[in-house]
Amino acid sequence: MEKINSKKLPAAIGPYSQAVKANGLIYTSGQVPLDVDGNMVERDIKVQTRQVFENLRNLLDDALCGMDNVIKITIYLENMEDFGVVNVLCAEAFGEHKPVRTTISAKGLPMNSMIVIDAIAQPYDYY
């Protein structure tokens, strides 16, 4: 197992790795809408979702992956009424690539965020 930590992301807020590579796959920790300096972005679902996707992109880049390598994402939403907005932003983030997805309603997300997303991806060097 190889740990992956990106300097393009804020440091982990707990005792965990940002991502690991195991058995040919990349598993990311849940990405919270923090900027690179560790500050929570504006409490707006569009702003937070875009920041989470930017964090995922940066982490996957350091893991020799791209958004087109994502197999599955899990989305944790504070408010399921935001599902439609997040759905549009997922389409924006992934384009024609459509990974498998699970969306879960979850209260009390880390740092009072509105959204958290984790991913499983297959790096380019696997092919």
Q: How high is the pLDDT of residue 126?
A: 57
Q: What is the pLDDT along the chain (127 residues), one digit of tens a residue?
A: 999 999 999 888 789 999 999 999 999 999 999 999 999 999 999 999 999 999 999 999 999 999 999 999 999 999 999 999 999 999 999 999 999 999 999 999 999 999 999 999 999 865 5
What's the CATH code of the domain at 78? 3.30.1330.40
How much is the pLDDT for 13? 78
Q: Considering the entire predicted model, what is its pTM? A: 0.94
Amino acid at 45: I
Q: What is the pLDDT of residues 51-68, one digit of tens each?
A: 999 999 999 999 999 999
Q: Which domain holds residue 89?
A: 2-126
pLDDT of residue 12: 82
Cα angle for residues 63, 84, 117 (degrees, 5° grid):
25
Q: How far apart are CA 84 and CA 24, in angstroms?
A: 33
Measured CA to CA, the distance from residue 118 to residue 30 in angstroms comes to: 4
Count of structural domains within the chain: 1
Q: Are 72 and 119 in contact (CB under 8 A)?
A: yes
CB atoms within 10 A of CB 75: 22
Query: What is the torsional sign of CA 109, 91, 24, 102?
Result: positive
